[in-house]
Structure 1
Amino acid sequence: MAPRVLVSDALSETAVQIFRDRGIDVTFDPTLGKDKERLAQVIGDYDGLAVRSATKVTEKLLANAPNLKVVGRAGIGVDNVDIPAASKRGVIVMNTPFGNSITTAEHAIALMMALARQIPEANASTHAGKWEKSRFMGMELTGKTLGLIGCGNIGSIVAERALGLRMKVIAYDPFLGEERAVKLGVHKVELDELIARADVITLHVPLTDKTRNILSADALARTKKGVRIVNCARGGLIDEAALAEGLRSGHVAGAALDVFAVEPATDSPLFGMPNVVCTPHLGASTTEAQENVALQVAEQMADYLLTGAVSNALNMPSVTAEEAAVMGPWLKLAAHLGEFIGQMTDEPITALNILYDGTVAGMNLEALNCAAIAGVMRAANPDVNMVSAPVIARERGIALSTTRQEKTGVFDGYIKVTVVTEDRERSLAGTVFSDHKPRFIQIKGITIDAEVGAHMLYTTNDDVPGVIGTLGMTLGRNGVNIANFTLGRSAQGRDAIALLYLDETPAQPVLDELRATGLFRQIRPLVFDVG
């Protein structure tokens, strides 16, 4: 019996035809996604669901879909899909991470040029029968400095276009290596330098805890007087109230926003302000981009339903069914090792070295490599998956080396991940015990045995009395429960580490209280995807 796919949002007819041409029974009902009740009634009949953003794939909907095997999102954003719920039910969630890149980059360039020449206001004035030629004095972009906050897939395209406009391009991106920067023709700088130097700042980073309000009131105050700011990435990257104040004071000359902290944006302190250009999240809205992502998701879903091949999956490694049964715990371990090191590394990564020892050395190392790389990259970009991570790593000049070796120690197998930056190397090793649960077994050459939890706290200190008591008393006094507490040291009186598995991430005041004791060289909260 042919697989059945439901297309519940507006995909192109060409994409729908791909399903038909490959022998899949497809139902095209582009309005169904907005009717939650009717969708829940019919979803049980389908193996695949192709959506854009209108259809909400919730836990409740998934409960009505016993036959569903794959959800395909035409586009990169999957905010409308409950991925943990899908994972629990064995439903693969796919997206198309690169289909919108050129379109979004072009929109950023278009907004920058519209802002520089005040085109929207001049257009409105002229349509109103006014001829205010002297009112609209623009800025020439040639020779100006463009500051990119984020120089990944979209940011690098913006850089290329800006260089074609004869702009000088500087970029802040912790994952941008020097070699990649030279190849792009951009000058890599720290954020403070970018803020101080740029005539135009454009943002191309995901919204994470590290990037939220990256252009805060303080950062905006330190920008060059007359700066212009463009955001086609994510709402929440800019403090909108502070930006409005900067515009009112004249320190910020203009802003162009395609995204807002709250969407749909029906009210904003920026609305109605002079020299502010606003568009309703149009970054991916071109005929070509919408066609590209629709065709891509149709091909990916058809491949999986007909052959079992997995592409651009957010919750599933690219491995065969036979491999998945054996490799599942090791894939989780590789991802956790990457997540740990990624959260510990703030400087640009130049190389990633992965050692596979014993039984794991005979497995599908390509998939394991992808899991580790995705873990490392996810600290800066939560949208990264096992397919897109290696591409992004290559774009950023990160060299990958893999070593296999026969069993060398007490463990049947283990994985060791080493990250290399311009200033240091940082390594971490782990294994999988007979209970199929990943464990961390070595940090900085120090032997430990630590279970992986969703919320963890990592500390380094001199091996002196009082550290355990301070950690326990401080966390306990602040209501933070410790599920597991692991210690290790290089030698008596030398370097020591602690890795705590907690019920929740400690609040910043708790971390500050620990730092104020003077006992710790480093205190770092860590978060792991243990779903």
Structure 2
Amino acid sequence: MAPRVLVSDKLSETAIQIFRDRGIDVDFQPDLGKDKEKLAEIIGRYDGLAIRSATKATAKLLERAEKLKVIGRAGIGVDNIDIPAASKKGIIVMNTPFGNAITTAEHAIALMFAVARQIPEANASTHAGKWEKSRFMGVEITGKILGVIGAGNIGSIVCSRALGLKMHVLAYDPFLSAERAKEIGVTKVALDELLAKADFITLHVPKTEKTKNILGKENLAKTKKGVRIINCARGGLVDEAALAEALTSGHVAGAAFDVFETEPAKESPLFALPNVVCTPHLGASTNEAQENVALQVAEQISDYLIRGAVTNALNMPAISADEAPRLKPVIRLADVLGSFVGQMQESAAKEIEILYDGAPAEMNTKALTSALLAGFLRAHATDVNMVSAPTLIKEKGILLSEVTRDKSGVYDGFIKLTVKTETGTLSVAGTVFSDLKPRLIQVQDINMDTEVNPYMVYLTNKDVPGIIGSVGATLGEAKINIASFQLGRKKEEGKAIALISVDGEVKESVLKQLLKNPNVQEAKSLSFNIE
């Protein structure tokens, strides 16, 4: 059955056709995003949701999204999506961060010119039949210092354009390396230095707890007198009330804003102030940008639903379309290994170590780790998934380490999971053979070779004769059919492990019966989802 995608905001017909061409059953209802009740009523029917900014993917809505696997936002901002709620349900959230980068950067440059030369006010005055040439005295851009807060994708384009205008560019960005700063031709500085020296300041960072009101009252006071401030990034990066005070006092000479703390912005302390240019969130509003992001989101959602590729996801490691088929059986193996140890675990985990040997070490280990952690946690919490698992591990305070190495044994590669708990250490290793099925090759450092089946029994026992017969007799009396019986042992320690594949779930009463055998030390029933 073809995946179903709901498009609840306006996307171009070309983007809708991409879904159809890829075999997606697409339901195009461009005005539905404004109708919360109707959207909630039907959202449970769809595997994918494509939106712009009108649709609000709230936690309440996502509770009704029983089948939803992916949300694609045509644009960069995801303020209208509850990402933690989506992650908890295993819904991948994608955006299109590059489709409108040039458009947004150009708008920032345009606003910088507009506020430097007071173009909007001069335009209104001239339209009113006035000729106030002496009133609108502007400043040149050439030779001025531009302070760029955030030199990522959009910010770096702004830097390039500003350098072309013969400006001197200072950049503040904690993630900007010295090499990258040199490459794009800017001087990397601390925030205080940027504030003190810049003639113009433009912001290009996401809104986070660290960047909220990054230009608040205190930092605005540190700016150079006569500075002009441009914000085409996110509302809330600048304290609008504090900026209004600085504009009124004359410390700040002008401002140009495309984004506001509350949108749609019906009122703001900045409105009606002289030499403040305001536009209604037009950063991405060009025909080219709107078409680009619409096409990108259609491609990304289709690639995920059809091929398992993950692109520009905010809560999941990227998986390319080329690697998805090759990665799928190894992801299944990682999930099994995590599930195995999770089901064996009897006390709180303190440390998790994952070893990728050979072929898996050359794959997308972030995705593999997410799958393994999901399998591990799912033994104790049913609502865990690849998206939410890494976050949950951090929240639990469990130390996580990953090691990759070249092929070291007879297998092309394997994954080994070791978990240190409050009472001991659990370990398991597995690989994937040519049949693409997961196999366990080591349990508790005892070598084995067994195919993973949906229902299995794990035993630790004394390495003595007759154990297979006595265990088989107990399972036979309980009407449990044995599919395979694999043993591994450490002869010098007199210790052995058995993994028994059976045709159905083994009840607790049968496990208790097995433990009555004086040679059986531990008996557990295991189950795996290996579809």
User: d(CA) in 1 for partners of 2:303 and 2:81?
Assistant: 21
Q: CA deviation at 1:41?
A: 2.5
Partner of 1:492: none
Instruction: Find out whether 1:42 has 2:42 as its counterpart.
Output: yes
The 8 Å contact of residues 357 and 406 in structure 2, kept in 1 or not, is answered as no
Whichever residue aligns with residue 8 of structure 2, its letter is S
Whichever residue aligns with residue 267 of structure 1, its letter is E
Partner of 1:71: 71
SS at match of 1:135: coil
SS at match of 1:146: strand
| CA offsets 1:8-33 (integer angstroms, 9 cap, x no match) | 11001110011112222212110111
The 8 Å contact of residues 258 and 280 in structure 1, kept in 2 or not, is answered as yes
User: d(CA) in 1 for partners of 2:336 and 2:224?
Assistant: 50
1:324 to 315, 318, 331: 331
Q: CA deviation at 1:433?
A: 7.0
Q: CA deviation at 1:405?
A: 6.1
**189 and 433 in structure 1: CA distance in 2 versus 1, 3 angstrom threshold:** farther
Moved more, 20-29 or 85-94: 85-94
The 8 Å contact of residues 56 and 80 in structure 1, kept in 2 or not, is answered as yes
Whichever residue aligns with residue 119 of structure 2, its letter is I
Moved more, 66-75 or 313-322: 313-322
SS at match of 1:192: helix
Partner of 2:125: 125
Give me the identity figure in percent: 69
**435 and 89 in structure 1: CA distance in 2 versus 1, 3 angstrom threshold:** farther
The 8 Å contact of residues 357 and 405 in structure 1, kept in 2 or not, is answered as no
**43 and 276 in structure 1: CA distance in 2 versus 1, 3 angstrom threshold:** same
Whichever residue aligns with residue 106 of structure 2, its letter is E
Equivalence map 1:14-33=2 (5 Å): 14-33=14-33
| CA offsets 1:374-398 (integer angstroms, 9 cap, x no match) | xxxxxxxxxxxx9xxxxxxxxxxxx
Partner of 2:364: 367
Whichever residue aligns with residue 251 of structure 1, its letter is H
Equivalence map 1:373-392=2 (5 Å): none
User: d(CA) in 1 for partners of 2:46 and 2:105?
Assistant: 36
**433 and 43 in structure 1: CA distance in 2 versus 1, 3 angstrom threshold:** farther
Whichever residue aligns with residue 72 of structure 1, its letter is G
Partner of 1:343: none
User: d(CA) in 1 for partners of 2:123 and 2:185?
Assistant: 35
Whichever residue aligns with residue 304 of structure 1, its letter is Y
Partner of 2:274: 274
Partner of 1:423: none
User: d(CA) in 2 for partners of 1:203 and 1:234?
Assistant: 9
Partner of 2:111: 111
User: d(CA) in 2 for partners of 1:296 and 1:412?
Assistant: 37
The 8 Å contact of residues 72 and 94 in structure 1, kept in 2 or not, is answered as yes
Q: CA deviation at 1:413?
A: 5.8
Equivalence map 1:410-425=2 (5 Å): none
User: Which stretches in structure 2 are left out of the alignment for 5+ residues?
Assistant: 339-352, 370-386, 388-402, 409-414, 429-531
Q: CA deviation at 1:37?
A: 2.0
Q: CA deviation at 1:273?
A: 0.5
SS at match of 1:228: strand
Partner of 2:355: 358
User: d(CA) in 2 for partners of 1:215 and 1:371?
Assistant: 40
User: d(CA) in 2 for partners of 1:71 and 1:269?
Assistant: 35
Equivalence map 1:212-291=2 (5 Å): 212-291=212-291
Whichever residue aligns with residue 329 of structure 2, its letter is E
The 8 Å contact of residues 361 and 405 in structure 2, kept in 1 or not, is answered as no
Whichever residue aligns with residue 178 of structure 1, its letter is A
The 8 Å contact of residues 33 and 55 in structure 1, kept in 2 or not, is answered as yes
**414 and 288 in structure 1: CA distance in 2 versus 1, 3 angstrom threshold:** farther
The 8 Å contact of residues 195 and 224 in structure 1, kept in 2 or not, is answered as yes
Whichever residue aligns with residue 323 of structure 1, its letter is V
For the pair shown, the structure with the greater C-alpha radius of gyration is: 2
The 8 Å contact of residues 327 and 363 in structure 1, kept in 2 or not, is answered as no
Partner of 2:400: none
**406 and 19 in structure 1: CA distance in 2 versus 1, 3 angstrom threshold:** closer
| CA offsets 1:137-195 (integer angstroms, 9 cap, x no match) | 11010011101111111110000000111111111111111111111111111111111
Equivalence map 1:507-526=2 (5 Å): none
| CA offsets 1:78-131 (integer angstroms, 9 cap, x no match) | 222222333333322222122121111111101000001000000010011100
**174 and 316 in structure 1: CA distance in 2 versus 1, 3 angstrom threshold:** closer
User: d(CA) in 2 for partners of 1:2 and 1:110?
Assistant: 45
Equivalence map 1:122-271=2 (5 Å): 122-271=122-271
User: d(CA) in 1 for partners of 2:86 and 2:212?
Assistant: 27
The 8 Å contact of residues 170 and 188 in structure 2, kept in 1 or not, is answered as yes
**413 and 362 in structure 1: CA distance in 2 versus 1, 3 angstrom threshold:** farther
Partner of 1:62: 62
User: d(CA) in 2 for partners of 1:433 and 1:140?
Assistant: 68
User: d(CA) in 2 for partners of 1:300 and 1:435?
Assistant: 37
| CA offsets 1:232-259 (integer angstroms, 9 cap, x no match) | 1122222222211111111111011111
**190 and 316 in structure 1: CA distance in 2 versus 1, 3 angstrom threshold:** closer
Partner of 2:405: 404
SS at match of 1:235: coil
User: Which stretches in structure 1 are left out of the alignment for 5+ residues?
Assistant: 332-355, 373-385, 387-401, 416-431, 437-531
| CA offsets 1:195-240 (integer angstroms, 9 cap, x no match) | 1111111111112222222222222222111111111112222222
Q: CA deviation at 1:364?
A: 5.2
| CA offsets 1:281-325 (integer angstroms, 9 cap, x no match) | 111111111111110011111112222222222233326443334
User: d(CA) in 2 for partners of 1:330 and 1:118?
Assistant: 64
Q: Give the TM-score normalised by structure 2.
A: 0.64
Partner of 2:501: none
**327 and 105 in structure 1: CA distance in 2 versus 1, 3 angstrom threshold:** farther
Equivalence map 1:468-483=2 (5 Å): none
SS at match of 2:255: strand
Partner of 1:528: none
The 8 Å contact of residues 144 and 167 in structure 1, kept in 2 or not, is answered as yes
The 8 Å contact of residues 357 and 404 in structure 1, kept in 2 or not, is answered as no
Q: CA deviation at 1:406?
A: 8.0
User: d(CA) in 2 for partners of 1:232 and 1:82?
Assistant: 22
Q: CA deviation at 1:42?
A: 2.4
SS at match of 2:364: helix
The 8 Å contact of residues 330 and 368 in structure 2, kept in 1 or not, is answered as no
SS at match of 2:176: coil
User: d(CA) in 1 for partners of 2:337 and 2:296?
Assistant: 29
Whichever residue aligns with residue 126 of structure 2, its letter is T
Question: How many residues matched?
Answer: 368
Moved more, 76-85 or 201-210: 76-85
User: d(CA) in 1 for partners of 2:50 and 2:337?
Assistant: 30
SS at match of 1:147: strand
| CA offsets 1:334-366 (integer angstroms, 9 cap, x no match) | xxxxxxxxxxxxxxxxxxxxxx97346753555
Whichever residue aligns with residue 143 of structure 1, its letter is G
**366 and 222 in structure 1: CA distance in 2 versus 1, 3 angstrom threshold:** farther
